[in-house]
Structure 1
Amino acid sequence: MLLIFLISLSSEVNANNKDQIINKLKDTLNLNFDFEQNINGKIEFGNCTIQYPKKMFCAYEKENKVIVSNGKSLIIKSTSSYYRYPLDKTPLNFILDKNFLLKKISNLNEEIINNSLVKFTIKENGQLIEIFFDINHHNLIGWQTKDIYQNTAVTLLYSVKSNQAVNEKIFNTPSQN
């Protein structure tokens, strides 16, 4: 009988985490955060703004590098290179789509990591995306994907602020020059 009670209590706690994450995400219009990104051991830092649906602007600390999504295209621009990708061919297409995340999370089982993170694993169109939330505040705090070159990319978010005023112009895709 005690075992049934403990299993029931554990299920309620898990459902509570998921419900709170879903509610927080529903109320989120945008996010601003500092980040650390590790792609196959190369670590970069910067700041990003995400505005749902599917807009993002990230400025990296070094290399004069920016990444911009206007909702359709993803531009990666540095002093030495310029790449344009259809957003729907990248994992960010799913991460930047709040309605997609809400639908997936509501149907997925969560995994608790070190009693501090809630992880959801999404498999979509041959892509594997792991999304991480803080167990205490239910904020999005990172993701792990494979990029278009099959490199593992881990992005960790810090100093996350939601629903801040955003200048829409930052989502205009930069020119190649």
Structure 2
Amino acid sequence: MNRRTLLLSAAALAMAGGMAQAQELSLNEVSAYLNQLQTAQGGFTQINGDGTLSTGQLYIKRPGRIRFEYNAPDNSLVMAGGGQVAVFDPKSNTPAERYPLNQTPLNIILERNVDLGQASMVTNRVSDGTTTTITAQDPANPQYGNIQLVFTANPVELRQWIVTDEVGDQTTVILNDLTPGAAINDAQFNIQSEMSRRGG
């Protein structure tokens, strides 16, 4: 599985039934929610483009840091820190794949100051009465793909993101019990330290 696809493709939520009707969220409300979400952790289930599933733990520490720890049998690790993304595949004999975080749509929600109201960033916003889905892209580099963010209201919560990469590939990541305010050590996002630990 291409881990770059995780950060450049899609994430979706298995929504529980019976949710109360929720109003459509404004871009200002969503931006404010993301800006106050300094740290968060929770489980995730990833639905890959070929229909296979992966599970693991997710850690977010804004700005610019995220970590995906995959459960067995995958046991891979994807982390972003210091402006870079690194993909560690225990089955590979090659060093970690690295590339700039700002070339992934996920960078949009990891920015220090999220402003979804800026020109040409949001290309679509829809509500089904339960969720609000916002499609966003880097207005300066739309060729990097886009991210669909799905939120519920009362209170505002991020329930899924759907990222489409530069060639149209998608991956789905379901967020499970994303808990804000978690105490997360900066060392969990240190790519160089992880490479040294693995002898890379």
The reply to whether TM is greater than 0.5 is: yes
Amino acid at match of 1:133: F
Q: Which has the higher helix share?
A: 1
TM-score when normalising by structure 1 = 0.79
Q: 1:147 to 1:80 in 2, by over 3 A?
A: farther
Deviation at 1:128, TM superposition (A): 2.0
Equivalences for residues 9-88 of structure 1 within 5 A: 13-14=23-24, 17-18=25-26, 19-40=28-49, 41-62=51-72, 63-81=74-92, 82-88=96-102
Equivalences for residues 96-115 of structure 1 within 5 A: 96-97=110-111, 99=113, 102-105=114-117, 108=122, 110-113=125-128, 115=129
> Which protein shows a greater Rg?
1
Deviations 1:114-137 (A, max 9, x none): x32211011332222111112332
Gaps of 5+ in 2: 1-22
Q: 1:103 to 1:151 in 2, by over 3 A?
A: same
Q: Which has the higher strand share?
A: 1
Gaps of 5+ in 1: 1-12
The two structures, once aligned, show a CA RMSD in angstroms of: 2.2
Q: 1:36 to 1:106 in 2, by over 3 A?
A: farther
Q: Distance in 1 between matches of 2:136 and 2:146?
A: 6
Identity among equivalent positions (%) equals: 22
For these two proteins, the number of residue pairs brought into alignment is: 160
2:31 touches 2:116 (CA, 8 Å); kept in 1? no
2:34 touches 2:109 (CA, 8 Å); kept in 1? no
**SS class of match (2:182):** coil
Q: Distance in 2 between matches of 1:50 and 1:105?
A: 23
2:153 aligned residue (101, 113, 135): 135
TM-score when normalising by structure 2 = 0.70
Q: Which has the larger displacement, 47-56 or 131-140?
A: 131-140
